[in-house]
Amino acid sequence: MSAPMIEMSQVNKYFGAFQVLKDVNLAVGRGEKVVVCGPSGSGKSTLIRLVNRLETHQSGRVVVDGVELTEDPRTVDRVRREVGMVFQSFNLFPHLTVLENLTLAPIWVQRVARKEAEETAMHFLARVRIPEQAGKYPSQLSGGQQQRVAIARALCMKPKLMLFDEPTSALDPEMIKEVLDVMVELAREGMTMVVVTHEMGFARTVADRVVFMDGGRIVEAAPPADFFSAPKTDRAKLFLSQVLGH
């Protein structure tokens, strides 16, 4: 069996005196889809932001695709080139067109020729079903379209692993589906994915494992069928009743 894509062991993380992550252990295999859920403030966003070192951890080990993340900027750079990320607030570059958003990193980081980068960009725009928006600026698109552009932007770097940090939380209800559809499709193609989300329907369809966090700890990790039908802890039961309760 090959080494896991992500391996976190005994990870601790503090914001000042406040401990956000407590002795976190998590391994994500290649091709595995993991959904991370839990009440707000439980450390889920921080957890996935550690994976491409948007946050630093104070102790423990974070290894991504065989590279341990350390102070050495080269390890960070290597990992970031392999890992795509999608944010809650899209974070598209507002001064660039959709096409420029997509080709920026391939051209300036991977040194791909412009023409080739544009072809790749158009390919992924078609995959997220908005090729006709290539010349527009992000502010001219709806939230759902912007998030799909953000997904395409991450895919243009041909990542081995995709991180999603509450990708549908900032969207109007009618746009959530169009983004989730793209993500489901991506999952079917075998992408390794770690998704922080409250969309339990998505977790049921796609996830191999659901990780439930509370108070900076991973409280439960189980296949969705088990997690939803028979949560082991009271906190998970309470959380599920709040999320699924109506």
Partner 1 sequence: MKWLRDNLFPGWVSGVFSALLIVILAKSLFAFVDWAFLEAIWRPDANACRAAKGACWGLITEKHRFILFGTYPYEQHWRPAAACVLLIALWTFSAFRIFWRWWLALVWLGGLSVIGALMWGGILGMPYVENERWGGLILTLLLSTFGVAFAFPLSILLALGRRSDMPMIRALCVGYIELIRGVPLISVLFMASVMLPLFLPSGMTIDKMVRAQLAIVMFAAAYLAEVVRGGLQSIPKGQYDAAHALALPYWRRTWLIILPQALRVSVPPIVNTLIALLKDTSLVLIIGLFDLLSTVKISLTEPAWNGFGIEAYVFASLVYFVFCFSMSRYSRSFEHR
Residue among 156 and 203 whose Cβ is closer to partner 1: 156
- Do the beta carbons of residue 84 and residue 39 sit within 8 Å? no
Least Å distance, CB 128 to partner 1, is 17
Residue among 89 and 140 whose Cβ is closer to partner 1: 89
- Distance in angstroms (rounded) separating the CA atoms of residues 179 and 147: 7
Residue among 20 and 236 whose Cβ is closer to partner 1: 20
Residue among 34 and 156 whose Cβ is closer to partner 1: 156
Closest CA to 46 of 93, 82, 14: 14
Q: Which of residues 136-165 bind partner 1 (CB under 8 A)?
A: 153-154, 157
Tell me if 38 contacts partner 1 by CB under 8 A.
no
Tell me if 20 contacts partner 1 by CB under 8 A.
no
Closest CA to 35 of 167, 182, 123: 167
Stretch that binds partner 1, among 49-57, 117-125, 134-142, 216-224 (CB under 8 A): 49-57
Near partner 1 by CB under 8 A: residue from 9, 59, 109, 223: 109
- Distance in angstroms (rounded) separating the CA atoms of residues 50 and 58: 11
Near partner 1 by CB under 8 A: residue from 21, 105, 134, 149: 105
